[in-house]
Structure 1
Amino acid sequence: MKIITIRQPWATLVALGEKQFETRSWRTAYRGELAIHAGKAIDKTTCQQEPYRSVLQRRGYTSDQLPLGAVIAVGRLEQCYYVGTDLGTAAILGDEGYIVEGAEYAFGDYTEGRYAWKIGRIGFLERPLPATGRLGLWNLPDDPLLKMDEMQHTWSK
């Protein structure tokens, strides 16, 4: 299974289904199961800004409660869109003309030329599984603590 490391609070927002797109400077042809790894870094200043603060608070989190250095969710990488137009308050993705706005837009970097990875069917793991993050997409290590068939998860709405 492929894994991507994401800094906090963005990793938790993805895991909760509040952030459907992970924006990156590079594209991927990979589609399929994707584990979300929360890196060891947290941007506490961002956690205090809107809309981050209210979304995290509504879901029962503060910056001090966000898991770090662990696999926290499993979902599906469904699509990778090119960011064609950044309007400043919304972005237009790909040839399909998919529009991203509101909190979703605020949660990403939709600068023209970047890529928006659509992550769906996300499930937050009941127990975060400690792991060391890496850059790019990486594979699940051969570690008995990280066996996918042992992971218990609850699906987000």
Structure 2
Amino acid sequence: MSGRMRGGNLTNPCLTMHQPWASLLVYGIKRIEGRSWPAPIRGRLWIHAAGKVPDQDTIKAMEDFYREIYAVNGVTDLKFPEHYPVSRLLGCVEVVGCVKREELVCWEDVPEGVRLEGQTDFCWLCEQPQKLLVPFEMRGYQGVYNLEKKIYEAAVRGLCPIEGPLPVKFPLPDPSDPFSLKPGSLALRFNGSNASEVEKPPSLNAAIAGARAAATQFSKKEPSKNPTRYDANFIRSRDTRNSTETSRWKDNGAVEEDKGPSGQSNGGYHRWERAHQNAEENSCMDHDRNSSRRYQGDGRNFNQQLGASSKIFAAAMKGLKPAGANRA
């Protein structure tokens, strides 16, 4: 991967996610990306699907979850992706903010179904999904990393805006500051008050439990120790000229978060955050290592897309339009 930091900032940030969560986000069905660490960026975030083929039970659990939470807002006709491709760059979303779970569940400015999506410590708020007409095959990496320039230049030409079932516009506390919607920014507005509880029918409770169970298969090794402070200013940079693919943390100077006791070292937090990211995403990388040797679908017929993806990607690299390619 040749994408590198420029001036301490990610130029074309990308996140590798497991399926079916990756496609649900790009299709505008999923509006909250849950993580154990705060979002280090604002703006466009490319979404890459990891190499693990999702089993049908996981797909069903997540589709049932979204059926139930959309039904809370009266949306009953959800159209889910026909395929959940793996080892592919799928598209992008706009990350407009990040709040803590306890803030999201109290935020009455957003639909009740969105509040129910908050099932993790930190909730990345996503808008304006766009999908690639033909997903590009590529390998993913841990954390938020830079998309390779050549892949970006080819992918940006093939984006198609998506209208989700119930698009959400997350209001910024300060419209002039893109980082104003950050962990802790909504806490003062609630003054310890609790959100109006959604009356949860048994089917909704069962769907939430199923979604949690599906997600825990990737986070069993997460440490239980909580940090004394957190800071969203550290983002990962990967230098692929180093064969060991070492990572280093940079301070982008863009966000100020909750401060710990004065003079307290943040080294312990860096180790904690790195451990959390590794626990969430190591399994993504294990499956991607084998993706260059073979491609597997999700049990549905997806073989033709691999050939089309390779041809269109190769042509885009040369600045040519693929002959006879179907872009509909």
**TM-score bracket for the superposition, by shorter chain length:** 0.7 to 0.9
* Equivalent of 2:31 in 6, 20, 26: 20
Q: Does the C-alpha gap of structure 1 residues 115 and 13 become closer, same or farther in structure 2, counting only changes over 3 Å? A: same
Q: Alignment RMSD, CA only?
A: 2.8
Structure 2: gaps of 5 or more residues: 1-11, 71-76, 164-328
Q: In structure 2, what is the Cα distance between the partners aligned to 1:133 and 1:44?
A: 23
1:1-157 alignment runs, 5 A limit:
1-41=12-52, 42-49=54-61, 50-51=64-65, 58-59=78-79, 61-62=81-82, 65-84=83-102, 92=105, 101-102=112-113, 105=116, 108=117, 110-111=119-120, 114-142=121-149, 144-147=150-153, 150-157=156-163
State the SS of the aligned residue for 2:91: strand
SS at match of 2:102: strand
Give the 3-state SS of the residue equivalent to 1:84 in structure 2. helix
CA contact (8 A) 1:39 1:70 kept: yes
Q: Distance in 2 between matches of 1:84 and 1:32?
A: 23
Q: TM-score of the superposition, structure 1-length normalised?
A: 0.75
C-alpha deviations, 1:115-147, integer Å up to 9, x for none? 0101111101101011111221111124x3442
C-alpha distance in 2 between matches for 1:149 and 1:69 = 15
In the aligned structure 2, how far is the partner of 1:38 from the partner of 1:52? Answer: 19
Cα separation, partners in 2 of 1:67 and 1:81, compared to 1, 3 Å: same
> Structure 1: which amino acid aligns with 2:65?
P
Report if aligned partners of 2:101, 2:118 keep a CA contact under 8 Å in 1.
no
Percent identical pairs in the alignment equals: 24
Kindly indicate which of the two structures has a greater share of residues assigned to helix.
Answer: 2
Cα 1:5–1:101 change in 2 (3 A) is: farther
User: 1:28: Cα distance to partner?
Assistant: 2.3
Larger Cα-atom Rg? 2
Matches of 1:97 and 1:104, distance apart in 2: 8
TM-score w.r.t. the length of structure 2 is 0.38
The verdict on how the C-alpha distance between 1:45 and 1:52 changes in structure 2, with shifts beyond 3 A counting, is: farther
> What 5-or-longer segments of structure 1 have no aligned partner?
86-90
Q: Which has the higher strand share?
A: 1
Name which structure has the greater RCO, CA cutoff 8 Å, separation 6+. 1
